Amino acid sequence: MTQQFENKTILITGAAGFIGSNLVLRLLKTEENIHIIGLDNMNDYYDVSLKEYRLGRIAELAEQKPTCTWEFIRGNIADRELIFSLFQSHRPQIVVNLAAQAGVRYSITNPDAYIESNMLGFYNILEACRAYPVEHLVYASSSSVYGSNQKIPYSTEDRVDNPVSLYAATKKSNELFAHAYSKLYDIPTTGLRFFTVYGPAGRPDMAYFSFTNKLRKRQTIEIFNYGNCKRDFTYVDDIVEGVFRVMAKAPERKTGDDGLPIPPYGVYNIGNSKPENLLDFVTILQEELIAAGVLPQDYDFELYKKLTPMQPGDVPITYADTTALERDFGFKPSTTLRQGLRNFALWYAEFYGREQQE
């Protein structure tokens, strides 16, 4: 396999996060002679021990790869001084910005966190890329930018000016900021709209994880829009493979007829392109949790299921059109929901323990 990133310095923000940590692992597994800097503020939006577990896995693998270096820095992308000193001392050639305050519902009650991380933090990253030029800035956008769009599947050609949450608005602002910086300063940027990412050691606020925690405690799970929601669930390994391929191929710098740069700017969807009904999703999840021993064979799910109305900030369906990703990078996510949830259930059983059978 050819080394895509040999002798490169790569900065990954949000490196203790779900996608960030898996991306670091992917790079360490397949690449040689790379220097990876991970930045994360380790906030307590969810259980910090999960973030520490992910960092532990990275440290173990990094020890086995003497040709690669891994350095973790605890810090906030909203700290301009820190970001500039980091860029000045390390001069990363590739930057992957995955640090963000996540979650649609949390943005309704805690807007400040989103403005600080998703807007001010991203602005600091862009300014640092301008001051210390990079080969490629890749950043996380979100399927939430599609908001209340009626047309499906969602295409990157669609207009996205109907956000239904502050979180979605901040992610759209990232794309606008990136476009302006690409145009003004010729910085190659690529935004990636992720669709409902799931998998082992994921985010506990996501439905598959929170449902599992609640079912274990014999608590009721709420299924919104009376179960008439569909989500384009995308397995984390597929997301990471997409990010990996995009990192290696920056948008080309070109000059327009006016003698000014044509913005080296791109945006892609990364999704499974197979929306799953939430009730079907819950059925598969419960089957895999029983098979993995997380829940007992005779578990009565009907006791703990409650169908409820649509929540503020939610949309009835997400569905990715990944034509552009396939065309430009030869990649299409393919992990089935059952396989992905099986992997999650087996990890959960190992991490949290199996249910004691009577």
- List the catalytic residues: 167
Residue 249's Cβ-count burial label (10 Å; 0-12, 13-18, 19+) is middle
**Contact between 195 and 146 (Cβ < 8 Å):** no
Tokens for 260?
Answer: 């000014």
Relative orientation angle of helices 122-131 and 166-185, to the nearest 10 degrees: 10
In 64-206, where does DSSP find H-type helix?
80-90, 104-109, 111-114, 122-131, 166-185
Q: What is the residue whose two structure tokens read 């990649």?
A: 331
Q: What is the DSSP letter of 144?
A: G
Query: Are 5 and 52 contacting, i.e. CB atoms less than 8 angstroms apart?
Result: no
Match 């990157």 to its residue by tokens: 156
